[in-house]
Amino acid sequence: MFWSVAGAVSVRTKIMGIIIGLILALGFVVGLVVQRGLSVTLERERQEWGLAIATGLSNQAQELILTDHLFALYTLVRNMLDTYKDILYIFFVDRDGNILVHTFEGGFPEDFLQVHRGRRWDGTRVEVFDTEQGPVRDIAVPILNGRAGVVHVGMSEGGMAETVAGYVRQIIIATAAVLLVGLLFAFVLSTILTKPVSQLVQATEAIGRGDFTWKAPLWAKDEVGRLGDSFEAMAEELKRKERLRAQLLQKVISAQEEERKRIARELHDETSQSLTSLMVGLKVLEEAGDPEEVKLRAVELRSLVAKTLDEVHHLAHALRPSILDDLGLVAALERYVKGYAGTTGLHVDFYAQDLNGRRLPSPVETTLYRIVQEALTNVAKHANAKNVSIILEQRGRGVVAVVEDDGRGFDVTWWRSREGAKGLGLAGMEERASLLGGTLTVESRPGSGTTIVVEIPLMPEVT
């Protein structure tokens, strides 16, 4: 579900979403850390500050309480209350819990009185109470170890919360500002990354339509730039292969037409004439009355039928040798090489190694047979050689065929040209091999013979 949704979103949206998510996550983490850390720090500082005020009041109030100068004590706490705005109240109780002085306007709250009446104070105490005005931190410090009473200072917690909220608001504003900058940065970055990718997509669609005119735009030499260069090289290779494929298709069509013409000519010139002669002989045999003449004519007709069968057999073998389907590539090549040597007068050596009598896939056998056949035809037509060596062997996960002659050789650069490829038919051999994922390598030099190496990979189950 997730990948189906994510896959439907454009790359630009994904990049912008990632950057926005990172900024928001960073702002949230920073805000949370600041809130917690600042709250703890302010709470500790406020408590230390309240203890300092309460301790100071305790020291100053000792003599006033002992001398019963309560008005002076009241004046002291009022001045303290007016000086520090975060102090909500101050009051003093004696050792018996009676209120001596307080700063509450409407009288001392009864609930406070109930809480503190009769309590014994043997040390400083800090408590937090919930009031109508919000949480209040009550700091109690004994006077003369509690013998002269206790001073209470109440401090509001609202100021601290407001301070923390102010800092959090500043972080939110800063996060929003960074988010806007991040959106702009994400837009620019996504444009830089997706523009060449979009161009590559357009180029892919164009190549899919058969348009190989696309050129990679000049871009930075980063991974995307190198991808564009590689894509352009691939397009050039596809263009070259498509051109070779078109040439091969044209040659195949031409070869088919030439083969049809040759078959029609042979059928007309040889087989048809033989059948006509057979029909005439049968007519003569039908009219012959002498047994000796019938016997003589029967022998002639039998010889004519045998000749016709040989011609038909030769014609069928030229189209596709049945031994290739029945016994495999090695047997077919052995028979072809034997007939080739007898026809051309060349000395031909054929070696088949590491196949152990196993059959190769039919497309591989047909391709190798036709390539070797074409290579030997080139030797007979162009090489002016005396000796030819053919090697067929399995190498790793592939099968290799090597055809080597001691003829006059040729310039390989010329072969790569249009005229050379057309003259020798090597482009068709190369295309045959490439259709099965194989390669064809030609090594030749004028006066040094020619070596053709064909390597075709095999499926794992074959090897």
Residue 177 has pLDDT above 50, yes or no: yes
Judged against a pLDDT cut of 90, whether residue 419 lies above it is answered with no
Q: Which of 30-34, 77-81, 400-404 has the highest mean pLDDT?
A: 400-404
Of 166, 193, 223, which residue is a domain's last?
A: 166
Which tops the pLDDT comparison, 9 or 14?
A: 14
Residue ending a domain, among 136, 166, 196, is 166
Asked if residue 298 is part of any domain, the answer here is no
pLDDT for the residue 313: 65
- Contact criterion met (CB below 8 Å) for 393 and 400: yes
pLDDT of residue 119: 62
- When pLDDT is cut at 50, 70 and 90, the band that residue 224 belongs to is low
Does residue 329 lie within any of the structural domains?
A: yes
Say if residues 340 and 348 touch (Cβ distance below 8 Å): yes
Q: Is residue 28 part of a domain?
A: yes
What separation in angstroms does the CA of 330 have from each of 19, 325, 353, 355?
Answer: 64, 11, 10, 9
Q: Which residue has the higher pLDDT, 98 or 456?
A: 456
In a domain, 361, yes or no: yes
The CATH number that applies at residue 85 is 3.30.450.20
How high is the pLDDT of residue 189? 74
pLDDT of residue 254: 65
- Judged by average pLDDT, the poorest of 102-111, 227-236, 262-271 is 262-271
Average pLDDT of span 18-22? 80
pLDDT band at 463 (very low <50, low <70, confident <90, very high): very low
What pLDDT, in 10s, does the model give residues 302-341?
777 777 777 676 666 566 667 777 888 888 899 889 988 9
Residue 461 pLDDT: 42
Q: Where in the sequence is the domain holding 432, given as residue range(s)? A: 323-463
Number of folded domains in the chain?
2
Question: Is residue 197 domain-resident?
Answer: no
Percent of the chain exceeding pLDDT 70 equals: 74
Q: How confident is the model at residue 450 (pLDDT cuts 50, 70, 90)?
A: very high
Q: Picking from 62-71, 378-387, 411-420, which range would have the lowest pLDDT averaged per residue?
A: 411-420
Confidence of residue 132 (pLDDT cuts 50, 70, 90): confident
> Domain of 338: which CATH number?
3.30.565.10
Answer whether residue 194 is part of any domain.
Answer: no
**pLDDT reading at 460 higher than 60:** no
pLDDT for 212 beyond 70: no
Say if residue 456's pLDDT is above 90.
yes
Give the tens place of pLDDT for each residue, 235-282.
Answer: 777 777 777 777 666 666 666 666 666 666 666 666 666 667 767 666
Q: What is the pTM assigned to this prediction?
A: 0.44
Asked whether residue 152 is domain-assigned, the answer is: yes
Range with the lowest mean pLDDT among 162-176, 195-209, 219-233, 248-262?
248-262
Give the tens place of pLDDT for each residue, 165-174. Answer: 777 788 788 8
Q: What CA–CA distances, in Å, run from 317 to 124, 222, 225, 269?
A: 117, 58, 55, 18
What's the confidence (pLDDT) of residue 455? 93
Q: Which of 282-291, 368-377, 418-427 has the highest mean pLDDT?
A: 368-377
Write down which residue in 166, 192, 222 finishes a domain: 166
When pLDDT is averaged across residues 22-39 and rounded to a whole number, the result is 78
Q: Average pLDDT for residues 199-223, to the nearest whole number? A: 69
Inform me whether the pLDDT recorded for 426 exceeds 90: no
Report the pLDDT value the prediction gives residue 372, as an integer from 0 to 100. 92
Does residue 394 form part of some domain? Answer: yes
The predicted pLDDT at position 267 comes to 63
